[in-house]
Amino acid sequence: MAVKALNDTAGLNGLVLTLLVFGAYPRINQDSPPSPNIVRQAKAIKKAMKMLREERAKVDINRAINQRNGPAAYDVLSLPLRSEVLVWREKEG
């Protein structure tokens, strides 16, 4: 359900077609005021999109915090010149 909600976003370029095909996005005329049912649906859609944005931000922040940049090179860089070291090389391919 969350994946479908992420796919059903209304962006700057227009609405995603599945929103209109399946009736998830209410159709509003210029002439008539919105009914209470449409107002409820619009509030629910806005609330769901806000929750999805917040959860996505949390996931992005956690991924950035937990990302590793590789082994610490401080020990190697602090060795004196002409030190003997072991080098590991992997075969390519």
Cα gap 60→64, rounded to integer Å: 6
Q: Is residue 73 a part of any domain in this protein?
A: no
**Secondary structure (3-state) at 26:** coil
How many helices (H) and strands (E) in the chain? Answer: 4, 0
* pLDDT value for 91: 82
Tell me how many domains the chain contains. 1
Q: Is residue 42 a part of any domain in this protein?
A: yes
Q: What is the span of the domain harbouring residue 41?
A: 2-68
Provide the residue-wise pLDDT of the chain in tens; the chain has 93 residues. Answer: 555 555 555 555 555 555 555 555 556 666 777 778 878 888 888 898 899 999 999 999 988 888 877 677 888 889 999 999 888 888 875
* pLDDT value for 20: 56
Q: Is residue 9 a part of any domain in this protein?
A: yes
Q: Is residue 77 a part of any domain in this protein?
A: no
* pLDDT value for 37: 80
Q: Is residue 74 a part of any domain in this protein?
A: no
Q: Is residue 79 a part of any domain in this protein?
A: no
**Secondary structure (3-state) at 38:** helix
Q: Is residue 89 a part of any domain in this protein?
A: no
Q: Is residue 40 a part of any domain in this protein?
A: yes
* pLDDT value for 58: 93
Side chain identity, residue 78:
S
